[in-house]
Amino acid sequence: MSTTFAQLGVPKPICDALARNGIQAPFAIQAATISDSLAGRDVCGRAPTGSGKTLAFGIPLVINTDRAKPKRPRSLVLAPTRELADQIADELRTFAGDVRITVVYGGVGYGKQESQLKRGTDIVVACPGRLEDLLERRSLELTDVDSVVVDEADRLADMGFLPAVRRILNKTSHKRQTVLFSATLDGDVAKLTRDYQNNPVTHEVGDTTPDITAAEHRFWKVERPDRIDATAHVINDSGQAIVFCRTRHGSDRLARQLTQRGVSAAAIHGGHQQNRRTRTLGQFTEGRIQALIATDVAARGIHVDDVAAVVHYDPPADHKTYIHRSGRTARAGRGGLVVSMILPEQVADTKKMKAKVGIDAPITVPGEIAESTSTHEHTNSAAAQSDQEQARSSRKPNGGNAGRSNSNGNRPTAKTSSHRRGKPGAKKRPNRAGGKSGSPNGNRGNSRGGAGSGQARSRSRSGGRGSNR
C-alpha cells in the first residue's frame, strides 16, 4: 500500500530532486495531505514533531507557486522561530528549481531581506513579527499571496503570535489556499482554522495520546474523610479544575460537598439531561464555576481548552485513563497541576500505575501549592525571543480579526498566569519534579519518534467550518 510521490501527483523533476536527497517515499502525513494540497484545498494537518510536515506542505507549495512581481510574493509560509524559518527555506530550496525563496525574520538587518523582496521572490518564509515590520516599511505587500502555510500553529499560539498571524492573513488574497500544520489542533489553533480556513480537509497522523510531560504531577496520600478538603485546597489554590470521579453518584455528592466548603462546583455526567450538561459546561468555560466534577465517560464528550488543574479524586481505571484525564491541563505547553488523591488501600496500585506512565514523583502528604513558574521551554531560545520582540514592537492597536482572539494574545510569553490564581505570597513550588525529571518518557518518546515509522495511523475527514474538532 506504500504510495510514491509520483502517485500523489508530484512531477518527475521534483521526485528526482527529492530522491537525490534521500527522500524516496512519502511519510504518512505527506501521503495523507499532498494530493489535497496540490488540488488547492485548504488542509489542516496534525502530526508529531519529526514526521515530515515541511515537505508535506512544501512540495505542493513549490509546485503551485507562480512567478511573482517585485515586492509581491505569491506564497507565504509563517513559522514561529528563525531557526525553523531557515530550516524550511533550506529544505524547500533542495528541490525548488528556479522558484525564488526569501526568509524573513527579526534580529538581523533589513538590507538583505528588503533587496531580495525588491528583486522579486515567489515564496516568503517568515516569522510574523519581522513580516509585519516589513509590511509597515512597505518593503512588500501581500495582495498577490494566494497560498499561505501556517506551520507549527500551536507554537505560534504559545508564543502569542496568533493576533499577528490573523492580521497578516487579512492582508492576503481572499481567494487564497490556507494550509495549517500543527502538533495539536485544539484551542486557539481550532479558532484560527475556523476563522481562516475554508472547508478544510483535516488529516491527523500519529499518536493522539496527550503529552502530559508539561504538567506537574503530585500524589497525595489522604485518609478518606480528608479527600474533600484536599481537593478543595487544590481548586482554591490553582484556579479552575476538572475533578474526576468514578461514579455519577460520587460526582454529584462531591459537587455538593465542595459547594458546602465554598468552592463553586458542578457535576457533569451522563445521568444529566443534555441541556443541563451544556449549561454546566458553559458556566465552567465562562469561569462562573471553579470546578467541574466529571466521570470519565462524561469528560470524553466535553471540549475544554485548558484548565489549571486536574484532580484524580478517584483513581483512574488504568494508566491510559490517567494520561487522558491529566491531558486536560498543561495543554499547548502551558503549566498545569495534576493531583491524585490516594487512599491508603490505593497506594500499591498507584505505584504500578505511575511506573507504567513513567512518572516518578513520590507519594507524599498533601502539600503546598503555589503559582506555577513554568513556561513553555521552547520560547526560551534567543532567536525566538528576538522575533517576539519584533512582534511586540510592531504591535498595532487595530488588527482585523485580532479582537476575536484572547485579550492577551499579543503577549509573547506563555499564558500560564492567566488561568492560574496562585496566592501572591505563597511559596513557589520547589521544582517540577513530577513533570520534568520524572516525565512520562515513554509517552513523549512515542509521540516524537514513532512518526513515519509505519506505525502511524492516518485518518482523514472532511469538515466544514467549525466542525473540525
Q: Does 27 bind ligand ADP (CB under 6 A)?
A: yes
First vs last C-alpha separation in the chain: 28
Alpha helices by DSSP H, 171-273: 187-196, 227-238, 248-260
* Of residues 53 and 395, the one with the C-beta less far from Mg ion: 53
Question: Pairing mode, if any, of strands 241-245 and 177-182?
Answer: unpaired
Minimum distance of ligand ADP from residue 214's CB (angstroms): 18
* Of residues 182 and 372, the one with the C-beta less far from ligand ADP: 182
* Of residues 53 and 319, the one with the C-beta less far from Mg ion: 53
Element housing 295 (H / E): strand 291-295
Per-residue b or e along 371-402, where b marks 16 or more CB atoms closer than 10 Å to that residue's CB: bbebbbeebeeebbbbbbebbeebbeeebebb
Residue count (the chain): 469
Q: Does 43 bind ligand ADP (CB under 6 A)?
A: no
Binder of residue 51, out of Mg ion, ligand ADP, none (CB less than 5 to 8 A by kind): ligand ADP
Binding to ligand ADP, residues 150-169 (CB under 6 A): none
Binding to ligand ADP, residues 47-76 (CB under 6 A): 47, 49-55
Binder of residue 308, out of Mg ion, ligand ADP, none (CB less than 5 to 8 A by kind): none
Minimum distance of ligand ADP from residue 12's CB (angstroms): 16
Q: How many CB atoms lie within 10 A of CB 303?
A: 10
* Of residues 182 and 193, the one with the C-beta less far from Mg ion: 182
Binding to Mg ion, residues 18-57 (CB under 5 A): 53
Q: Which amino acid is at 392?
A: R
* Of residues 394 and 447, the one with the C-beta less far from ligand ADP: 447
DSSP per position, 65-131: PPPPBTTB-SEEEE-SSHHHHHHHHHHHHTT-TT--EEEE-SSS-SHHHHHHHHH--SEEEE-HHHH
Phi-psi region of 186 (alpha: psi -120 to 50; beta: other; left: phi over 0): beta
* Of residues 20 and 224, the one with the C-beta less far from ligand ADP: 20
Q: Could you tell me if 203 and 179 are in contact, meaning their C-beta atoms sit under 8 angstroms apart?
A: no
Instruction: Pick the stretch among 23-31, 383-391, 412-420, 458-466 that binds ligand ADP (CB under 6 A).
Output: 23-31
Q: Does 26 bind ligand ADP (CB under 6 A)?
A: yes
Binding to ligand ADP, residues 318-377 (CB under 6 A): none
Residues near Mg ion (CB under 5 A) are 53
Residues near ligand ADP (CB under 6 A) are 23, 25-27, 30, 47, 49-55
